[in-house]
Chains A and B, each alone.
Chain A
Amino acid sequence: MAEEKKIFKITIDNITIDVEPGTTVLQAARKIGGDVTPPAMCYYTHLKGSGGKCRTCLVEVAAGSAADPRPMPKLVASCRTNVMDGMVIKSLTSEKVLDARNAVVEFLLINHPLDCPICDQAGECDLQDLSYEHGTEATRYEFKRRTFDKEDIGPYIQLHMTRCILCYRCTYVADQLTDTRVHGVLDRGDHSEISTYISKAIDNDFSGNMIDVCPVGALTDRTFRFKNRVWFTKPMDAHRNCDKCCGKVTLWLRGDDVLRVTARKDQWGEVQTYDGKPGWICNACRFHKKHKYDWEVEGLTNITRHSVISQGKYPGLKMPKETIAEVMGGKSPNLLMDIHEISGVNDPDIDLSKIEGPATSNTFNPDP
């Protein structure tokens, strides 16, 4: 007997949608999209077991199900709550939820340093966006913040434990994507810290993906460190034939220099899926293919115009034709000043994409 597929009706902020049983409330809200969707810091669709830690996705359940329409007494984490038929959820329309969200952001920021001007994640940081939307202007916290030393875990990844919000996404990447896990969470409570055991290097083919899943700047790309701000680089979709991964990436360019390679992200900040498989990329693609000729560039990545990264990027821009040379019989106009001859910034002799770590004073003033 073929069992009829059940479809659950769920109402989120007065918008009703049909979803399959087993879907989480957060996934249902993402299907609706827009402002209804609660923000999520720790939940990651492609990582099994993630979610339920940061509490930013709290929603109010106004009616548990059609069979038992009593409201749930407390706010629930939407990433960990499965839908029931006839469930009524309040997200944006609930005062309680917005209050809780503000409080959660305040909690997340208690130990988070405000070093966004230095942090490489700034501009594409989930916590930055979240606190911009829900955070308070000043902190009420008066005590010493927890601090850790910076740590290089492997040659490519730098760990700033001070910035970590303990979302555990990176440990799930290590668990589920790589065959040998060498890092995890040490200690408990305030002291808990993401680390490798006794500074062991992480050298797995897919370990670089933990940079992409990190919602804050705790895990950053050492090959991109301090080289440019994210919003001054130009994201381009590109691909190459890779025997280890899907090879579909976003290149972050300055001019023709590939400063950084990341996986392609969807609108929720998660890696895009290709044929139902998440498009994780391997370390060879991420850290070693820093030439434009390694890649077949497809075009400008779509960046939402609400993001600072969209500044200065004009998709579909048609430059007017240069006519002076035509009129002057092939002679191009005499420039009164060529800025590239005078400016010391973006020196063609110093190719930042070719140096492995961050630039230092030795890079710019090499000893004779």
Chain B
Amino acid sequence: MQTLTNRAKLVDRRPMTALERIYLWNILKGMIITFRHIFKKKATINYPEQKRSFSAVFRGVQILNRDEEGRERCTACGLCAVACPAEAITMEGAERLPTEEHLYREEKYAAKYEINMLRCIFCGLCEEACPKDAIYLSQTFAQANYSREGFIYKKEDLLIPHPKENPEAYAKALGERKAKNN
């Protein structure tokens, strides 16, 4: 029979010889391979204790950024929503009251901000579109959840911790990539 490629190997269907029938040699051959792998580098890690570092360009779950005083940067300009190819982002804007100047950076802010993580494809176009440095793709992935409802991320789920009230969590949320840049 002519083979299509020269990589194909015909199965040897000759009856086994007496030596082969004992299987001893074949078992030994297999054990040598197993034994060799003990000394090789492991392909797996002990996940929750050890974590792999992400690539510098890894695109994880979005965070809504705050400025150095802890005010929300998002102004609900809608550019992330219009750039989003999966139409995952929705928002509602509101005007900042004079008493809320420590909360929001600009006179308009996002009163509601939602990302549908079931739709999100982590393309990063929202980050690219944002004129206010307000949305970033962080270096963590979206948590697993039992129900679909849990994947509609509200503003509270997305906001980065306050840099002054909770500096440790803030630094952690910034991730390695941001820390290097600063």
Q: Using CB atoms and an 8 Å cutoff, list the residues of chain A in contact with chain B.
A: 115-118, 122, 225-229, 231-232, 308, 311, 336-337, 339, 342-346, 357-364
- Asked if B92 contacts A360 (CB within 8 A), the reply is no
Rounded to whole Å, the gap between the CB of A343 and the closest CB of chain B is 6
CB <8 Å contact, A343 and B114: yes
Of all chain B residues, the one with the shortest Cβ separation from A150 is: B107
Per a CB cutoff under 8 Å, which of B76, B77, B100, B107 touches A116?
Answer: B77
Residues of B within 8 A of A364 (CB): 92, 94, 111-112
- Would you call B111 and A359 a contact (CB within 8 A)? yes
Smallest Cβ-Cβ distance to B89: which chain A residue: A345
Known contacts A346-B92, A364-B94, A122 near B152 by CB under 8 Å: no
Query: B81's contact among A122, A232, A346, by CB below 8 Å, is which?
Result: A232
Query: 4 additional contacts, CB 8 Å, given A229-B77, A364-B92?
Result: A358-B95, A359-B111, A360-B95, A361-B100
Q: Which of B8-27 contact A (CB under 8 A)?
A: none
Q: With an 8 A cutoff between CB atoms, is B139 at the interface?
A: no
For chain B, residues 66 to 118, give those with C-beta under 8 angstroms from any C-beta of chain A.
75-79, 81-82, 90-97, 100, 106-108, 111-112, 114, 116
Which residues of A are found within 8 Å of B81, using beta-carbon distances? 232
Question: Total number of A-B contacts with CB less than 8 angstroms?
Answer: 80
Task: Judge whether A117 and B77 touch: CB under 8 Å.
Answer: yes
Which residue of the partner chain, among A122, A337, A345, A346, contacts B149 with CB atoms under 8 Å?
A: A337
B82's partner among A226, A311, A346 (CB-CB below 8 A) is: A311
Give chain B's interface residues, CB within 8 Å of chain A: 75-79, 81-82, 90-97, 100, 106-108, 111-112, 114, 116, 131-132, 148-149, 152, 154
In the bound assembly, the distance between CA atoms of A300 and B82 in angstroms comes to 20
Q: Interface residues of B: mostly helix, strand, loop or mixed?
A: mixed
Which residue of B is nearest A230, CB measured? Answer: B78
CA distance A363 to B81 in the complex (A): 23
Give the complex CA separation of A288 and B111 in angstroms.
Answer: 25
Per the bound structure, the CA–CA distance linking A302 and B47 in Å amounts to 56
Q: Which residues of B contact A231 (CB under 8 A)?
A: 78, 82
Q: List A contacts of B92 (CB < 8 A).
A: 228, 345-346, 359, 364
Partner of A117, one of B75, B149, B152: B75
Interface pairs (30), CB distance under 8 Å? A115-B106, A116-B131, A117-B79, A117-B132, A118-B77, A118-B108, A225-B95, A226-B76, A226-B94, A229-B77, A229-B82, A232-B78, A232-B81, A232-B82, A336-B148, A337-B149, A343-B152, A344-B112, A344-B114, A344-B154, A346-B90, A358-B94, A358-B95, A358-B108, A359-B92, A359-B93, A361-B100, A361-B111, A362-B97, A364-B111
